Structure 1
Amino acid sequence: MFKNSEGYPDNTAGEAIERADRPPHAVKQVIYILHLITSLAGMEIVGRVTLKDKETGREWS
């Protein structure tokens, strides 16, 4: 639950922040494909995978 600066619950702001931080569908697809490929090769991804959008410069982990 998100709370404002005074300590009161602020669900509207909390939902907006959560939606803004959610990775786009394309990022989820790439991570899924990477996991699938490594699984087919008999391996697994051990660390974090960081993707960077070339247009916006935003990074997703």
Structure 2
Amino acid sequence: MRMISGFGYRNPEGYPDPTAYSAINSVEKTPVENKTSPEDEERFHKLLNTIFTICELAGFHIEGRIAIKDCKTGKIWR
């Protein structure tokens, strides 16, 4: 039985749990992709602040989530 970050092949009750083991194993092996650069973070936050300011000036308030896709990087911000 191999342990991964405290998670073994067996569930807390002691029964084999190959599905959870496989999922955790694959997540831990997945490299961090689409790491957001500080410049992109700053661009996004400036855009978001601008959107909120425009809404406030126009007498509106955003009630839900905003999903924005960056044309430069392809990242979807939520």
Which TM bucket (shorter chain)?
A: 0.5 to 0.7
Match of 1:49 among 41, 47, 66: 66
User: Hey, what's the Cα distance between the residues in 2 that align with 1:30 and 1:6?
Assistant: 41
Where 1:24 maps in the other structure, the secondary structure is helix
Gaps of 5+ in 2: 8-31
Percent of aligned pairs sharing the same letter: 28
Residue correspondences, number? 47
Q: Which has the higher contact order (CA 8 A, sep 6+)?
A: 1
Match of 1:32 among 38, 49, 56: 49
Determine the structure 2 residue equivalent to 1:58.
75
- TM-score by length of structure 1 reads 0.61
Contact 1:53 1:59 in 2 (8 A): yes
Gaps of 5+ in 1: 8-16
RMSD of aligned C-alpha atoms?
A: 2.5
Higher alpha-carbon Rg? 2
- TM-score by length of structure 2 reads 0.49
